[in-house]
Structure 1
Amino acid sequence: MSPDSTITHLVGAAAIILVVANGAGLLARRLGQPSIVGQLTAGIAIGPSLLSQLPSSVGRMLFPAEITPMLTALSQVALVLFLYFVGYELDLRLLRGRSRTTLTVAFAAFAVPIAVGGGAALLFHGTLERLGLPHDVPVRSTLFLAIALSITAVPVLVVVVRESGLAGTVPGVIAVSAAGLIDILGWTVLVGILLGTGDRSGMAMPVRLALLLVTAVVMVWPARLLLRWFMRRPGVSQGPRLAVLIGFAFTGAWATSALGLHVIFGALLAGVVTPREQDGTPDPELVRSLEGVGSLLLPFFFVVSGRSVSVGALTGTAVAAFVVVTVLAVVAKVGSGALAARACRLDKRTSVTVGILLSTRGLTELIALNAGLQAGLLSGPLYTVLVLMAIATTLLTQPLLILSRRIRAADTDPHTSADPVSAGVR
């Protein structure tokens, strides 16, 4: 295929991806789900799950193999921008005044699902073998499967909280702040797991660890100081600021990728250390710009991730594994979050709402699964099972919240879960 023809196919594929993904996002909103869930589902559908049901010539015409590297590059660019946006929006000030409750809920909703996931991996090692993992399941794969059940998707959770009318309430604030801590713990453990996988950098482990520490220190201290000086200079318009910050995100992503890790870690760290406004809040104009650029490119990541998902190829074992994993994921998250909140003297209804919100996985789960697949920690069928679990647990959040509200409607307790944040939660 000539370069001109390759570009023509890429432009055509991009048009299909953007139209289908955003159309599915609008449909999801009409159905009471976050738009990102519709985009994620559409991206997976465009992959082998749908194209395998069509004549092979259709798939080759729409998405020829020659444009795959370009789509993959666009998907990685989307990941860098999205993770940078997530890190920049992460607001640890939410912990003020309720650190004990948040820490308790976060620890329980992180540790219990990890224990459940790791125990299930050990108990059902035969099933994992039939899903493509080696006979002796590697320790790193077991740990990764445990982490897969512990993740909560902060970006999707924020949308759910806002669209459910829970923004500014006790369960909404506790869930979002706890989810932020859970993600920090999860990404930290994931870094350790990926450091122990096959080394793509050609460096010895001590060297990689030392360089990773140096990278983190440079980003946290001198780079942050330089960015603060630049962002607060008078007369600097939004365009140059955005260009410099995105360049900073890609520099961090390049550094972690060069060390044999995924680009997501450097991008996330870059977002966390980026200076906020003087009052500690993110710059709203910058947030809008980052969200707009990231949202435009995310469908490419969904499509590239969906190329490893083939729903039609699922066996009976895979379907059974999907059901079991989904049930375990929901019960472990909702149960641990609700019990921990209850132990901190929140009322029963508020506690259940916190647990339900923490079960939202969505995009963050997909990013982690994609990194695990690239590192060889997952087989293709197991990856498909876990991606479907991420979608299912996210789709269940709204119905579970509605069910919880209906149960609450029959309760005459005057203290509702919509109490304001100032209600003395510690």
Structure 2
Amino acid sequence: MVNPPINMARLTAMDATRAARVLNEVREATLAGRRARIAPRPVIEQSWGRMLRSGVDPEHDFRSGLLSSDELRRRREESPLRQVLPVLREGLLSVADVAQHIMVIADAEGRVLWREGSRQVLRKADHLGLQPGADWREDVVGTNGVGTPVVVRRPVQVFAGEHFVRSHTTWTCTGAPITDPTDGRLLGVVDVSGPLKTMHPATLAWVESVAKLAEAHLREAHQAALERLRAVAAPVLARLGGRALAVDRDGWVAAVTGMPYVRRIGLPTSVAPGSRWLPALGSCTVEPLAGGWLLRVEDEPFATGSCRIVLDLVRPGRCALTVETPAGSWSRELSPRHAELLFLLCEHRSGRSAARLADDLFADASRTVTVRAEMSRIRRYLGELLHHRPYRFHENAEVEVLLPDDPRELLPRSTAPAVARRRAATGCGRPTRP
């Protein structure tokens, strides 16, 4: 008989001492391989499993070196989260001293960039190594409210004994990822942390709502930047013949001439002026514009014979797609849904209909509208390298998918039935060429 998972609302109704005792009992039994009276929550149990497989020591905390002051300064200056610091501070620090908590902001690698709040709690955080420049990745310090949201890409609350490392079990933390609203790329995590007595189930919704507010602020700033680029590009495009686009540095389109409007063009990781090949457009001349690029399309035939597509699923939560051609290459970090869909197409090189993909993802073949919308977004950056009716990679393109050594680490966040079946299979420890 499977024990029911912990009911957090019931647990938080207890006093802090009793709640800590219950959680520690669950932790001790589970890590010792015994069945606990109450099962850990799924998100915590899955994280503990990752820790055990990666060799994190639950009895001794490990602290990697802090970033140098110069490196910390550089990361702060380059982080898009710098733009939303006022939003995060206003939403999370107004009651910091009364509620006895601190706000922690980390980048997409789990490195702590900023830390503010109750002075008393900041001193306690120092003893845990939760300092600016510290590495709080899950596979370094165990299950926690900074590193675990980086992996699972959703808000996570970690109470006391739910922390994997014993020295953290007097602590409570709640973290929510902040993603770039323009492309779904993880920017970092905002976390509220404090002693066990600060535990409250409403904290999760609170932190998540502030993270969403920060994303909305980034979305508004992006739209304003596109408007400025559109004003710069309008007189330039008016003088041109043929097909041309003005795009920002992430490929979002501000204006076009001589062709239908598209929302976004997939750009290489590093863009420079000159002749470039893009999957969605073919050969282009790239010229700088204030705040972006001018792409002048050269009408040359599309060639895929020497194209190579690499889908990298090795790192959980950091899936990427790379396209390599003689004219250049580009890479792109994928959203979880796009990683799922491209993996399924790698598994089925002959093609997959929208209905079959819907069944693979949701066990519901009727959900074709969702599938078609996502595939349309993928085709915006893969262009003619991805056919439809059925959806499939171009027959002349070489396709490779890189899989993690441990089958259980294949798209660990995915609940798609087809992915779950593949996780359960063996032999995905080597790169495969479908």
Give the TM-score, by structure 1 length: 0.22
Higher strand proportion: 2
Higher relative contact order (CA 8 A, sep 6+): 1
Determine which structure has more spread, i.e. the larger CA radius of gyration. Answer: 2
Higher helix proportion: 1
